């Protein structure tokens, strides 16, 4: 189990990310998704990169994290949301990253989850199915698949972070953000077009700017900074299940901001998710022996820690 301090940090991350999808939805009402993502990571990188020390886990890892957790995840996610993926369902489906993260970490890092962790993750996924079944039936196929691909890209980035832990989670967020703006801007110009981007920037609203600021400074800099910090301290199977609580917060956020009332099935699903996460984290269930959740020392970096 995590110490109380890290449990508090994980709870802060989940609270921020639960509201994040509502904020992104408001931002993309005016700004096209790929341009929105490019602006997000531009704000994350500048001017912070001028004042934050490099993460110290090698430039290859920094670039790979930027391509997976930033470019890949958000290009797929925001495009899927624009082409019909509801924000609530997107927040739900994206959390299958916990399954991808645990599976990839088991193969590449030999971090084998316990059977109780697997049972908790499976129960959490079942709860997410309860919450989202009514949306899944009506969801367009390609945006749904795109969101699953975004979750897989995030899972790969999680394992890269765990494989070569940075000196601080915040520094990795800032420096890896440097990788994202140009590829995302190029994709925006190619897919969305210069005219659409120019029109959006000329007619930007206060609400869309507030949404952009939330996802850049809270969801990215604070949220992913703390998330990367937790991954550097604990096994992937200990950290990843926390994200399954995001749909619970997201449902509450949708109710307060948009008046979306949860169904009885959603309420049951939320309870199942919480029980599954508590089981995966060892809060409930049988007592376990001590587990050493430390950075992977068995696989030292194969590259100099230049960044």
Question: Is residue 301 assigned to a domain?
Answer: no
Split into its structural domains, the chain has a count of: 1
The reported pLDDT for the residue numbered 138 is: 65
Token pair listed for 240: 């990843």
Domain holding 77, by residue range, is 4-280
Question: Is residue 186 assigned to a domain?
Answer: yes
CB count within 10 Å of CB 272 equals 19
Query: Mapping DSSP to helix (H, G, I), strand (E, B) and coil, where does residue 64 land?
Result: helix
Contact 229, 169 (CB under 8 A): yes
The reported pLDDT for the residue numbered 262 is: 65
Cβ partners under 8 Å of residue 81, min gap 6: 24, 25, 28, 33, 87, 90, 143, 147
Question: Is residue 294 assigned to a domain?
Answer: no
The reported pLDDT for the residue numbered 130 is: 76
Q: Which residues of the chain carry a pLDDT beneath 50? A: 290-292, 294-305
The reported pLDDT for the residue numbered 297 is: 44
The reported pLDDT for the residue numbered 301 is: 45
Span 249-287, pLDDT tens digits: 877 776 776 666 666 777 787 788 888 888 887 777 665
Question: Is residue 73 assigned to a domain?
Answer: yes
The beta strands (E) that lie in 41-149 are given as none
Widest pairwise Cα distance in the chain: 60
The reported pLDDT for the residue numbered 258 is: 65
The reported pLDDT for the residue numbered 253 is: 76
Question: Is residue 291 assigned to a domain?
Answer: no
**CA–CA separation, 95 and 97 (whole Å):** 5
Span 161-194, pLDDT tens digits: 999 999 999 999 999 999 999 999 999 999 899 9
The reported pLDDT for the residue numbered 299 is: 46
Question: Is residue 305 assigned to a domain?
Answer: no
Question: Is residue 110 assigned to a domain?
Answer: yes
Query: Mapping DSSP to helix (H, G, I), strand (E, B) and coil, where does residue 225 land?
Result: helix
Say what the pTM is.
0.85
Question: Is residue 231 assigned to a domain?
Answer: yes
């Amino acid at each position: 189990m995590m110490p109380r301090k890290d449990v508090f940090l994980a709870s802060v991350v989940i609270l921020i990310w639960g509201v994040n999808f509502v904020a992104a939805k408001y931002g993309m009402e005016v700004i096209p998704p790929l341009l929105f993502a490019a602006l997000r990571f531009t704000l994350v990188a500048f001017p912070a990169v001028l004042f934050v020390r490099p993460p110290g886990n090698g430039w290859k890892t920094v670039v790979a994290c930027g391509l997976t957790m930033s470019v890949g995840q958000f290009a797929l996610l925001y495009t899927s949301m624009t082409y019909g993926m509801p924000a609530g369902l997107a927040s739900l489906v994206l959390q299958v990253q916990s399954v991808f993260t645990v599976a990839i970490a088991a193969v590449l890092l030999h971090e084998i989850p316990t059977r109780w962790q697997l049972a908790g993750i499976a129960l959490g996924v079942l709860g997410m199915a309860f919450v989202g079944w009514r949306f899944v039936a009506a969801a367009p196929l390609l945006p749904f698949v795109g969101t699953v691909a975004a979750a897989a890209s995030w899972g790969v980035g999680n394992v890269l972070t765990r494989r070569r832990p940075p000196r601080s989670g915040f520094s990795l967020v800032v420096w890896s953000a440097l990788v994202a703006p140009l590829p995302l801007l190029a994709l925006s110009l190619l897919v969305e077009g210069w005219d659409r981007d120019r029109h959006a920037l000329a007619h930007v609203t206060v609400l869309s700017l507030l949404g952009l600021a939330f996802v850049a400074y809270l969801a990215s800099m604070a949220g992913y900074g703390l998330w990367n910090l937790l991954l550097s301290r604990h096994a992937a199977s200990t950290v990843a299940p926390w994200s399954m609580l995001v749909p619970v917060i997201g449902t509450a956020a949708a109710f307060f901001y948009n008046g979306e009332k949860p169904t009885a099935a959603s309420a049951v699903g939320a309870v199942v998710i919480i029980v599954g996460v508590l089981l995966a984290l060892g809060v409930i269930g049988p007592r376990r022996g001590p587990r050493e959740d430390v950075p992977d020392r068995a696989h030292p970096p194969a590259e100099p820690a230049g960044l």
